[in-house]
Amino acid sequence: MTTDVINNYLSIQENIKKIRVNKKVNIIAVSKTFNMDQIAPLIGHGHLHFGENKLQEAFYKWSDIKSNNKKIKLHMIGKLQSNKAKKAVELFDYIHSLDNEKLANVLSKSEHSLDKKINYFIQVNIGNESQKSGIPLNLVDQFYTYCSLELKLNIIGLMAIPPNDNNTNKHFQFISEHNSSLNLPELSLGMSSDYLIALKYEATFLRIGSAIFGKRN
């Protein structure tokens, strides 16, 4: 059976509306591993924000579509190596995985050489888990200052993937408070399994894959 992408998408929108009446929430349809045949209906429906986690796959799938449809916004949500940063600035409109100084330096240089500015989320290692990427909590403020003041990167919010420990509320609340304390306008939080929780904590960008496109192989 094929997954009905549009129906899934519409019911997620309904769920969001029940919780967030006024404030704008953006769904990022995470299309990693899915092919254009599966993604196209959502583009046709007018959805604009899509997320990928691998640079090469993203180029292959999105280069032509993006040059023909300037309204589409592409989000890099996966680990980014600094030697691929320039390519990423070329293709993406948002990077959610800004997580180290070396990468930040190369991104800033790439913006200059390409004469292009994009938007960034600082990825925070909210549970201080050794296997996860992200800036440790105690270094977030310093890193934010460096990126925004020294490098002039347009940092619009924090991003986090919470530990799998049944304390999602606590983690989301913490990151949301930290986001507010930095006066950041956006917050990248919530996936298929926890986006309704993320909404309670002021998330403005939800990264939703399988709940829209179905199970990944």
Ligand X SMILES: *Cc1c(COP(=O)(O)O)cnc(C)c1O
Residue 208 sits in the site that holds ligand X (CB under 6 A): yes
Give the rounded distance of the alpha carbon of 4 from its chain centre.
23
Element (H, E) at 79: none
Q: How far is the CB of 120 from ligand X (least distance, A)?
A: 14
Establish if 162 lies at the interface with ligand X (CB under 6 A). no
Among 27, 161, 199, 203, binds ligand X (CB under 6 A): 161
In what helix (H) or strand (E) does residue 50 lie, and over which residues does it extend? strand 49-52
In the complex, the smallest distance separating the C-beta of residue 68 from ligand X, rounded to whole angstroms, is 26
The span from the CA of 157 to the CA of 124, in Å, is 10
Nearest C-alpha neighbor of 136 from the set 145, 144, 127: 127
The candidate with the shortest Cα–Cα distance to 209, out of 76, 35, 52, is 52
177-183 contact pairs (CB < 8 A, 24+) = 178/124, 178/137, 178/140, 182/141, 182/144, 182/158
Using CB under 6 A as the binding rule, whether residue 203 contacts ligand X is answered as no
Q: Kindly list the distances between the CA atom of residue 3 and the CA atoms of 51, 202, 206, in Å, as whole numbers in the listed order.
A: 19, 29, 20
Which segment (101-109, 110-118, 172-180, 208-216) binds ligand X by CB under 6 A?
208-216
In this structure, what token pair is assigned to residue 35? 């092919």
User: From the CB of 180, what's the least distance to ligand X, in Å?
Assistant: 22
Interaction residues for ligand X, span 87-116 (CB under 6 A): none
* Given 127, 134, 157, 209, the residue binding ligand X (CB under 6 A): 209
Please give the biggest Cα pair distance in the chain: 52
Contact mark string toward ligand X, 34..73, x via CB under 6 A: -------------------x--------------------
- Using CB under 6 A, which residues numbered 17 to 36 contact ligand X? 30, 32
Please select the residue that binds ligand X; options are 191, 197, 198, 203, rule is CB under 6 A: 191
Q: Shortest distance, CB of residue 131 to ligand X, whole angstroms?
A: 14
Q: Give the residue with the Cβ less far from ligand X, 109 or 132.
A: 132
Q: What is the dihedral angle through the alpha carbons of 62, 66, 71, 72, rounded to the nearest 10 degrees?
A: 0
> Which residue is nearest to ligand X, using beta carbons?
209
Does the footprint of ligand X cover residue 157 (CB under 6 A)?
A: no
Which residue lies nearer to ligand X by CB, 161 or 184?
Answer: 161
Query: Residue 26 — φ and ψ, nearest 5°?
Result: -105, 130
Binding site for ligand X (CB under 6 A): 30, 32, 53, 77-78, 161, 191-193, 207-211
